């Protein structure tokens, strides 16, 4: 992945507001970004009922659930299960579908994931 740095000089201004301020290389990077974003798909964990990106699904179960239950004894319930009182159930139909921004606005905790 190519990284651009803020120390790079700004492109020359052509004294024409209709002129695109991006260099050809910047246009390529922007196009690649939009294509990657378009191809990114949410995955759904069948056990935890969570949907997110790059969850590392194996047979429909995310890597987080697999790791939580790695050392589980045979007579113990799955960590994220109704038997363990950690099944959050389905969202009631009468509740409105929130956008990601709306969900963040009402959340008590915001997770920031930086790679």
β-pairing, 42-44 vs 51-53, is antiparallel
Residue 47 and residue 64: Cα distance in Å, rounded? 10
pLDDT(86) > 70? yes
Beta bridge mates, 42 = 53
Token reading at 10 = 């700004």
Mean pLDDT comparison of 18-27, 47-56, 70-79, 95-104, highest-scoring range: 70-79
42-57 core/surface letters (b: 16 or more CB in 10 A; e: else): eeebebbebeeeebee
How much is the pTM? 0.52
pLDDT(109) > 80? no
Token reading at 30 = 């922007």
């Amino acid at each position: 992945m190519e990284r651009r740095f803020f120390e790079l000089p700004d492109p020359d201004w052509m004294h024409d507001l209709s002129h695109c301020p991006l260099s050809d290389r910047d246009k390529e990077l922007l196009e690649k970004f939009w294509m990657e974003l378009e191809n990114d798909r949410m995955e759904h964990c069948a056990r935890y009922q969570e949907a997110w990106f790059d969850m590392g699904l194996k047979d429909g179960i995310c890597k987080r659930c697999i790791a939580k239950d790695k050392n589980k004894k045979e007579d113990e319930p799955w960590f994220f299960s109704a038997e363990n009182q950690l099944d959050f159930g389905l969202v009631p139909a009468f509740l409105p579908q929130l956008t990601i921004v709306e969900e963040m606005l009402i959340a008590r905790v915001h997770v920031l994931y930086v790679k």
